Structure 1
Amino acid sequence: MKKNVYNLLSLAILTALYSAHSSANSQDLHLQCLNGVPQFTGEPITGNANEQPVYIEADDADIVNPSRATYRGDVDLKQGNRHLKAPEVEVTQNGEGDAAQRYAYAKGKFAYQDEQISLSGNDAKVHLNSKDTDVANANYQFVGRQGRGTAESSEMREGYRLLKNATFTSCLPNDNSWEIEASEMKQHIKEEYAEMWHSRFKIAGVPVFYLPYMQMPIGDRRRSGLLMPSAGISSRDGFWYAQPIYWNIAPNYDATFTPKYMSDRGWQLNSEFRYLTSLGEGVIAGEYLNKDRYEDYADKDQSRHLFHWKHFASLFGDWRLNIDYTKVSDRRYFSDFDSTYGSSTDGYATQTAKLIYNQPNWNFAISAKQYQVFDDVEIGPYKALPQIDFNYYKNNLANGWADFKLYAQAVRFDNTSSEMPTAWRYHLEPSLNIPLANRYGSLNIETKLYASHYQQHEGIGVDADIEHSVNRVIPQIKADFQSVLASDETFIKGYTQTIEPHIQYLYRPYRNQSNIGSKRNSKYLGLGYDSALLQQDYFSLFRDRRYSGLDRIASANQFTLGGTTRFYDQNAEERFNLSLGQIIYLNNSRIDNTTENSTTGRASSWALESNWKISDKWNWRGSYQYDTRLDHASLVNSTLEYNPEGENLIQLNYRYASKQYIDQNLTSSANRYNQDIKQLGTTVAWELGDQWAVVGRYYHDLGINKPVEQYAGVQYNTCCWSAGIGVRRYVVSESAKRKYADSKDAIYDNSVNFTIELKGLGRNDHYSGLVDMLDKGMLPYVKPFNL
């Protein structure tokens, strides 16, 4: 497996590099497919076509009487959008006035076309007062879209086409990759689907299966029925097969049920229900495996399941309702199953609901929030139920000199563990900002007050001496100066450079906050009810606070010094930027009397970020943090991407994080690594000509010299079908990750996925498959550039 992945990835890179020219000069597959179908030309004639006059051109005409005429020799008959050509046409009329019935009889081989279908055959009867047409030995092809076939006899009516001993395929002429034969076929024009009786599905002329009755789409409209299946084999799941079943319940409701068989695990039922109503739009999904036969669960008789609900509603004009709820049966669910609704790399599942009321100067929200964490911890995070937030804004006070903002919150914190304390938190945060600006720069002076009151109740058996009532008042003042200096005289001819210094002073006095929340000696629990240490980059240096949430508001007496330089070309397009910054601590920033939660040294890490648009095809982005206290780099990211056209790309990545940086930002000691993370990765995605698309991805941990993830995918596309294969090898399961981190060993899942799809049944289904393949995996492709 490993050797095959390396070979596929190498082939993907080499083929991409050597096929750039041919790919750039190739014609889009979608356009090629459209060129293979007849198109309606001229201006469409609106109105009732049956009331349009009839125009006939011919080499010879024999008009017997007003009710009968015969035309011979290159006969060309037009009526509205209808166009009939034949060697001989006889036109008859029965009755007079409004009761007159007109028919045209084409004798011999003819060609007929309107805005919907193109026909050829032997002998036809056309009712000129309606769309009724009877044809013998017909060859038909849809106009403006793929779809063609034959019929021994056909009845063309206004709402349907009834074909006897007929065939249908979306392949272009002279391509018989697949087709369906049926003794009787009824194509419903407005509903855009076909019914088939006694149908045989053929591949390259060979019958594959028989169905006494089937339906299939012949247009864009949604139809209930079977969707294309997918299959594969995995060392984790064994052989698996998934068959989606689509149910078009109503124009604003639909559902998809996907039974999935896994030979090593059992049957899993996946379902998704989508809705759009006056009360909002959203999706409800579920996944259920009754008894997992995987070796880790075989003796536990354990069911595995997922529930997901996402909802958005605009209510009564100014009200909004958002719900995002995902819950799984166990913390290893996303490690063991591939799911659209979550990933093991997220580390948690979100469960939130928020009702918002908006007005021009203020808004109000009431919400509930909790998370299902996948870390191996005894006690999880707190849930906020309920949480009430209020925001008020008033700008241009004192003749435009000041802006006022007020934030207020009331929230109750509870924990799934009865051992943990519970609390109500009431918070008030007024701020006054004075913005000053001229052509040289801007200076924003802001004063803010954090006023919080806690009502706490101890848990069972621990924190018995917790303070039941805690008040905390912290003032803050911040002065933020920014300027933009531009010059056309740079060391690079033809470029304009800007230098943008950014200086901020922040002061906030120290308040001991160890009496807020649990007193347990735990990094995770010691941060109160909803706080966490924020990760640092250049832009975060200018944030007000080191911690998220409101339970930990660290003291501050510091200057943040930073700046950005940018280079613009003659078209005023930004080609390069570089940002560099650092916090200078006049006093250590702290939240309690411990050194663990206090900054040490007189300065933060240096933070550097840069983007470079080397050319229209090449881009580079990098970030770097240097820890002055430890005297070495703590975080490095670098990405180089070659993107010549469309979705084609080659991306190289390097990621480094020091052990100290990882431990500092983890909320649980259970998953701490015993080494630095050093990962080198590459992603290749390329369309080879019109039909082939390849994706390769490889991430390698340099510290233990083992791959983290390997993926190679190939897809072949034609106008009427596509097939793809994906080979993947990656680290799986929570226990495997810990083993991987601790003992330099790894447990891998090796899998092969297959996909087959019939093309041309919808208008816009000609795509290479690159996006789908890039989205797969633990580390899906992300475009990193922000120029």
Structure 2
Amino acid sequence: MRLLPRLLPLPLCVVAALSARAGERPIPHNWALCPVEDAVPAFADFQRAPEGIDIAPLQAGDRADGQRLPIDIEGDHLGGTDANPVFQGNVTMRHGSQFMGADQLTFDKAEGRYKAEGSVRFQANGLRLRAARAEGDQNSNTHTMQDLQYQLLSRRGNGKADSLNLAGQEGSLRGATYSTCPPQARHWELEASRIDIDNQTGWARAYGARLQVGHVPVLYFPFFMFPTDERRRSGLLLPSISNSGRNGLDWTQPVYLNLAPNYDATLSPRIMTARGALLGGQFRYLQEAGFGTVNAWWMPRDRLRDRERGSFDFKGTHNVSAHWQARADLAWISDPRYLEDFSSSLDGLARANLYSSLGLYGIGHGWTAGVTADHWQLADYTLTRGVLPYDRLPRAFLHWQRDTGMLLAYGVDAEAVRFQHPVYAAGARFDAKPWISAPLAGDAWFVRPTLAWRYTSYALDPALAQTLGSGKTPSRAQSIFSLDAGLFFDREVRVKGHDYLQSIEPRLFYLNVPYVDQSGMPVFDTQPLTFTWQQLFRDNRYTGGDRQADANQLTLAVSTRMIRQSDGFQRFEASIGQIRYFRESLVRLPGEPITEKGNSAWVVDTSYAPTDRWTIGASYQRDPKFKRTDLASLRARYLFPDDGIVNINYRYRRAQLEQVDFSFLYPINPSWSVVGREYYSLRDRKTLEGVAGVQWDSCCVAVRLVARRYVQNRAGQLGNTLMFEIELKGLGSAGQDIQTTLRRSILGYNRDDLYLVPPQTATGQPSKPAPANTTP
């Protein structure tokens, strides 16, 4: 793919805001390859006045507040007349924040005019430059300079010009160039017959401009605008252009609107030659009490489905008071095929339902509470609305606890919900669980006995009550007793010259819940929890309030760690645990097998970092009754110095999936790197996503070429796309946003993302006692 076709849309972006803030990338520009010095280095005598002859300060132009600004001139030698002094040798002239240095300077006291020659140095209004000669009027703050090289101070822009005329905050360059590249590596450069700069508005206007990439001219602009600082501004963003078999030529032209300092909007008209035209938009606002973002798309007629289509989503928060906050996460799509047709990621295909929520949430000392409402919309055309979860309209919840300071803690978890469903009859549920605990702990041990009582009652719709045969107000009451205890053993060891703290942490968790028949109770929002390490220490194996499992069981678990004492780096961790069931658990969901007497699957979690760059982890679950593996995963990560990463993952869950995922960012040298991903389903013998590409990054230019193969619909058909992007840092980019695609496909493509992902290790002993009696 050639550069020129991708950049041809640029001439159409007249009066374009190439770096408007709505278009800023999630990953900032990488200037690491740029030289340390600017194109015009800072002047040594800017802050230091040379020793020499000086004259008394002269009066010059007015400041904005009406006060007169003096002119200070110093030099090694003073000649000329009293009315027209001539300074020679290390001459400096200061006028307010304005600085000028030269080999020789002649000054007209009466007119306030000057003429500077030889190594002229000038800095003012966000501009630093060197020139062969200069003259000007300090009273009117106008300057004319010849044969100059300049550097913008608010960003990396620099260039040369035949001449410069300055008048206050405005300047005009003739025969000028502009680039963010250093002079010795001019990868791209904008040449213009004239460039007008207005530092007050932050705009530069180029006339008769020609864009050169390397030494090759690729574009001509009769008129072109670009920013000179980081302020937001209205205008056209660079378009996104792609081509695919389903959409045809796909062109999106964003228009950014800087409406106010605290809110803005982006309109995104889009044309797909195979499907039609649509209009998208985003509105963002920021207030002292909150913020929000609205996104909307509308398509009058999609030829692919022969219908009108659209989507809407809103995410926002608002602080009502010091303890209460309102939150909204609302989403809507016009039809169940929308996510499949308009998403190019596996996330769009994996979502069968679209979730919306609205609520008021409170938090204070020892309590959390809220009143919320949520709604589900079908997003998979292969399913019916019968699979949708129940809406909760509304839901109120409360968690409250107190510590008496006398080895006792108590509290209550309560919830009241009204359920609704587009197909099935529903009802309301009240669930409350008061509890009391005696958390005891020492430096090397803890014991937390907890007694709770859980009461659940319903007010069912007549049709549902008749189906269940349990009346309109079924209820349940159960006591729950748990005992959580653990020990901490640790010792100091020295391995390969480093001091480590090694710990062994055995833990017991006993749970006893009497059996109560719940077969006549509905199932609104309750599902079995995935069996994990955390499940070994919960008092219920279900989410929601429709089922409370009976139990008489004991968890035996042990964890060990090695932590480097110099910086807290965890070199090794391993955990193993199992539940011993003393009797069968009879409570179950419809179709769920009874938990038989005996032992649960073994749960094993381990992680090991042989070096500070390598991390290896594994999880394993094996069922001793059936002698089968229920879950297995292996993960490894290697971090290259400075940049680059390799991820290897294997995941297996019995009767559900078996996948391998290999991704990498490999730096060949500081400029060149290759990227790739192979996400493969061994069970289906099919690639879920494949990525291969190369990228070149210099001080001021980045080029990326990536081929991608991915599942494009629910039928499992694969789509192919070739993506190309050229980024002229500080000016703009053309092509598709490849960085976002790579960031989603390769964990660690942006190294900072690694700190947003919790480490996949087992949870051993808590660092301090925490209540084990809250509702899961």
For the structure 1 residues 785 and 452, does the alpha-carbon distance in structure 2 shift closer, same or farther, using more than 3 Å as the test? closer
Residue type at the aligned position of 2:698: T
> How far 1:38 sits from its partner (Å)?
2.9
* Residue of structure 1 equivalent to 2:675: 695
Q: How does 1:14-93 map to 2 (within 5 A)?
A: 29-30=31-32, 32-40=34-42, 51=69, 53-58=71-76, 61-65=78-82, 67-72=83-88, 75-78=91-94, 82-93=98-109
* Residue of structure 2 equivalent to 1:775: 743
Q: 2:112 aligns with which of 102, 105, 121?
A: 102
Q: How does 1:57-206 map to 2 (within 5 A)?
A: 57-58=75-76, 61-65=78-82, 67-72=83-88, 75-78=91-94, 82-94=98-110, 102-107=112-117, 110-114=120-124, 116-129=126-139, 131-143=141-153, 145-164=155-174, 166-182=176-192, 184-197=194-207, 199-204=209-214
* Residue of structure 2 equivalent to 1:387: 395
* Residue of structure 1 equivalent to 2:644: 648
Secondary structure class of the residue paired with 1:540: helix
In the alignment, is residue 302 of structure 1 matched against residue 298 of structure 2? no
Structure 1 residues 687-696 or 721-730, which shifts more? Answer: 687-696
Structure 1 residues 558-567 or 714-723, which shifts more? Answer: 714-723
Residue by residue over 1:629-656, the C-alpha shift from the partner in whole angstroms, topping out at 9 and shown as x without a partner, is 3311111111111113344111111111
Structure 1 residues 596-605 or 34-43, which shifts more? Answer: 34-43
CA contact (8 A) 2:468 2:521 kept: no
* Residue of structure 2 equivalent to 1:423: 427
CA distance in 1, matches of 2:408, 2:346: 45
Query: Which of 1 and 2 has higher RCO (CA within 8 Å, sep 6+)?
Result: 1
* Residue of structure 2 equivalent to 1:435: 439
Instruction: Report percent identity of matched pairs.
Output: 28
> How far 1:598 sits from its partner (Å)?
2.2
CA distance in 1, matches of 2:579, 2:487: 19
CA distance in 2, matches of 1:635, 1:728: 30
CA distance in 1, matches of 2:376, 2:271: 30
In the alignment, is residue 313 of structure 1 matched against residue 313 of structure 2? no
For the structure 1 residues 251 and 372, does the alpha-carbon distance in structure 2 shift closer, same or farther, using more than 3 Å as the test? same
Q: Scaled by the length of structure 2, what TM-score is found?
A: 0.83
* Residue of structure 2 equivalent to 1:611: 607
> How far 1:541 sits from its partner (Å)?
1.5
* Residue of structure 1 equivalent to 2:628: 632
In the alignment, is residue 730 of structure 1 matched against residue 710 of structure 2? yes
For the structure 1 residues 128 and 534, does the alpha-carbon distance in structure 2 shift closer, same or farther, using more than 3 Å as the test? same
Secondary structure class of the residue paired with 2:348: coil
> How far 1:487 sits from its partner (Å)?
3.1
For the structure 1 residues 165 and 547, does the alpha-carbon distance in structure 2 shift closer, same or farther, using more than 3 Å as the test? same
* Residue of structure 1 equivalent to 2:529: 534
Q: How does 1:242-391 map to 2 (within 5 A)?
A: 242-294=252-304, 297=305, 301-338=306-343, 343-374=348-379, 376-378=382-384, 379=386, 380-391=388-399
CA distance in 2, matches of 1:585, 1:321: 44
In angstroms, what is the RMSD of aligned CA positions? 3.4
Q: How does 1:538-553 map to 2 (within 5 A)?
A: 538-553=533-548
Consecutive unaligned residues in structure 2, runs of 5 or more: 2-29, 50-61, 762-776
Residue by residue over 1:653-675, the C-alpha shift from the partner in whole angstroms, topping out at 9 and shown as x without a partner, is 1111110xx3xxxxxxxxxxxxx
CA contact (8 A) 1:382 1:530 kept: yes
CA contact (8 A) 2:397 2:414 kept: yes
For the structure 1 residues 315 and 607, does the alpha-carbon distance in structure 2 shift closer, same or farther, using more than 3 Å as the test? same
In the alignment, is residue 721 of structure 1 matched against residue 739 of structure 2? no
For the structure 1 residues 73 and 426, does the alpha-carbon distance in structure 2 shift closer, same or farther, using more than 3 Å as the test? closer
Q: 1:471 aligns with which of 468, 475, 499?
A: 475
CA distance in 1, matches of 2:503, 2:441: 18
In the alignment, is residue 752 of structure 1 matched against residue 722 of structure 2? yes
For the structure 1 residues 92 and 779, does the alpha-carbon distance in structure 2 shift closer, same or farther, using more than 3 Å as the test? closer
For the structure 1 residues 490 and 446, does the alpha-carbon distance in structure 2 shift closer, same or farther, using more than 3 Å as the test? farther
CA contact (8 A) 2:399 2:412 kept: yes
* Residue of structure 1 equivalent to 2:618: 622
Structure 1 residues 679-688 or 566-575, which shifts more? Answer: 566-575
CA distance in 1, matches of 2:96, 2:590: 87
Structure 1 residues 233-242 or 596-605, which shifts more? Answer: 233-242
CA distance in 2, matches of 1:275, 1:245: 17
CA contact (8 A) 1:686 1:770 kept: no
Residue by residue over 1:313-361, the C-alpha shift from the partner in whole angstroms, topping out at 9 and shown as x without a partner, is 1113322011112222333433333379963334433201110233324
Residue type at the aligned position of 2:456: S
Secondary structure class of the residue paired with 1:343: helix
Residue by residue over 1:11-57, the C-alpha shift from the partner in whole angstroms, topping out at 9 and shown as x without a partner, is xxxxxxxxxxxxxxxxx843624524334356869998983552332
CA distance in 2, matches of 1:685, 1:462: 60
For the structure 1 residues 384 and 45, does the alpha-carbon distance in structure 2 shift closer, same or farther, using more than 3 Å as the test? farther
Q: 2:555 aligns with which of 560, 564, 579?
A: 560
CA distance in 2, matches of 1:771, 1:228: 16
Residue by residue over 1:489-540, the C-alpha shift from the partner in whole angstroms, topping out at 9 and shown as x without a partner, is 79999654211111111111222223222xxxxxxxxxx1111111111122
Secondary structure class of the residue paired with 1:468: coil
Q: Scaled by the length of structure 1, what TM-score is found?
A: 0.81
Residue type at the aligned position of 1:408: A
Residue by residue over 1:693-715, the C-alpha shift from the partner in whole angstroms, topping out at 9 and shown as x without a partner, is 33211122233433221112322
In the alignment, is residue 516 of structure 1 matched against residue 521 of structure 2? yes
CA distance in 2, matches of 1:251, 1:346: 36
Structure 1 residues 557-566 or 178-187, which shifts more? Answer: 178-187
CA contact (8 A) 1:456 1:466 kept: no
CA distance in 2, matches of 1:495, 1:202: 57
Residue type at the aligned position of 2:650: Y
> How far 1:590 sits from its partner (Å)?
3.2
Q: 2:419 aligns with which of 403, 410, 413?
A: 413
Residue by residue over 1:40-88, the C-alpha shift from the partner in whole angstroms, topping out at 9 and shown as x without a partner, is 3568699989835523325x543222x2123456655455654434454
For the structure 1 residues 32 and 204, does the alpha-carbon distance in structure 2 shift closer, same or farther, using more than 3 Å as the test? closer
For the structure 1 residues 495 and 197, does the alpha-carbon distance in structure 2 shift closer, same or farther, using more than 3 Å as the test? closer
